[in-house]
Structure 1
C-alpha cells in the first residue's frame, strides 16, 4: 500500500492506493499553511479509509518543481514518516505527475511544463510514460520554439496554458491542475530508485543559509 502526498502548489493533498487501485484521497486548496495542515489531513484520510500506518509499504511525495516552501514541507514530512515506519519514501516530479494525468495509458507524447514565473518554464518531454532527457528551465518562447518542431503531443502541467498561448492556440492543454496525489503514489510504487527524496528546484533557491550555503 502506498501513500501519495503533494504540497508543491496551492493544494494540500494525499491519496492511498493498493494493487487494486485508489483506496481514498483528500485534496484541499489551501494556498498557504501546508506545514500545519498536512499531518492532520493524512490522519483524517487514514481514519476515513480504515488504513493504519503499519500497512504502508512506501510513501511517494511530489518533490517539485513547485513552491519552495511547499515542496520542502512535503519532502520533510515524507522523510520523517518513512523513517518512523522504516519504509522507503520516494520523491516524484510534478512534471511526471502531470504527464501521467494527461496520458494515463502511457501511449502518447506529453510536453509537461511548470510555470516557473519570470516568463520561464521548467519543462520535460515524456514519451509513452518515460522521461526523455532532463528537466530544463527556459524562456516560454524558447520552449514554444522547441514545441513547434514536435508532432502530435499533449501539453500538461501548470505552465501548459502559458505555453499554449505562446504557440498561438490550436493545442489543448491537459492536466493543468496541481499534481494528483494518486499519480504521485502510482509513480512511487513503480520507482526502482528508493533513495530518500530531495527537493527538485526549478532554479537555485534565492534564500541562503549562513555562510552563503544553498539549502538542500
Structure 2
C-alpha cells in the first residue's frame, strides 16, 4: 500500500511517502508560517523522490492537531481535498497519538507544548492506556498537568520543565505513527480526518471603525 503522510501542525511542513512500512521519501521544511504555500510543493517533491505520481497513492494520512490553528486547518483541508480528487481514503491521527511511542503499556500521558510564555504555560495533553485512548485531547495548565502526571505510569512529552521534576520520555512528532495508524486500520473503520483544534483560535475580531465627527 502506498501512503502519502502529511503534517503542518508544528513549526515544519512535512510530506512523506511510504510503501507499507518502508519510507520511500521524506520532505521536511522548518517554518513558522506559510504552510499553505509549501505543502503542495512538499508533497510533489516527496512523490518525485519516490518516483511516483499522485495517482499511485492508495491512502492519505494526516496529523490533524491539536497544534497551530492555521497549520491544522491547512493540513486537514489539503489532505481531504486531495483524497476527494484521487478518490482514496484519508485517515487523521492526533498530534498526541503521533507522538505516543510504540508499545507503551500502562497509563501514559503524552504532552506537547501549547502556550510557551510565562506565566501562561499550557500543553496539549492526552491519556492512553496500553496504547489506546483513555480520553480526548485537552489543553492543560500547570496544575492540570501535575494532576495527570500524578495519576500516570509513564510520561512522554516536550517542554515539561515548568511542571516540575519527574522522569519523562522525550518525544518527536513525526509521520511514522500516522502511517502505522493508516496501515493498521480497515477502510470501513477509518476515522474521518477532522481537525482537532481543542481550543478556539487566539485571533481577536476587529473592532468596527467609527466615524469621528468633524469639528
Q: TM-score with structure 1 length normalisation?
A: 0.82
Provide the secondary structure at the position in 2 that maps to 1:134: coil
Q: Return the match for 1:200 from 192, 196, 201.
A: 196
Mapped contact 2:107–2:152 kept (Cα < 8 A): no
- Indicate the structure whose relative CO is greater, using CA pairs within 8 Å and at least 6 residues apart: 1
CA deviation string 1:33-73 (max 9, x = no partner): 11111111111111111122222111011110000111111
CA deviation string 1:135-177 (max 9, x = no partner): 22331222112312333x1322xxx322x44132x413411x4
Provide the secondary structure at the position in 1 that maps to 2:196: coil
Q: What is the root-mean-square deviation in Å for CA atoms of aligned residues?
A: 2.3
- What's the CA shift for 1:9? 0.8
Provide the secondary structure at the position in 2 that maps to 1:205: coil
Question: How many pairs does the alignment contain?
Answer: 199
Q: Which has the larger displacement, 8-17 or 117-126?
A: 117-126
Partner of 1:66: 67
Provide the secondary structure at the position in 1 that maps to 2:155: strand
- What's the CA shift for 1:207? 5.0
The runs of 5 or more residues in structure 1 that have no matched partner are 210-216
Partner of 2:140: 138
- What's the CA shift for 1:206? 4.4
Partner of 2:48: 47
Partner of 2:164: 167
Q: TM-score with structure 2 length normalisation?
A: 0.83
Partner of 1:214: none
Partner of 1:36: 37
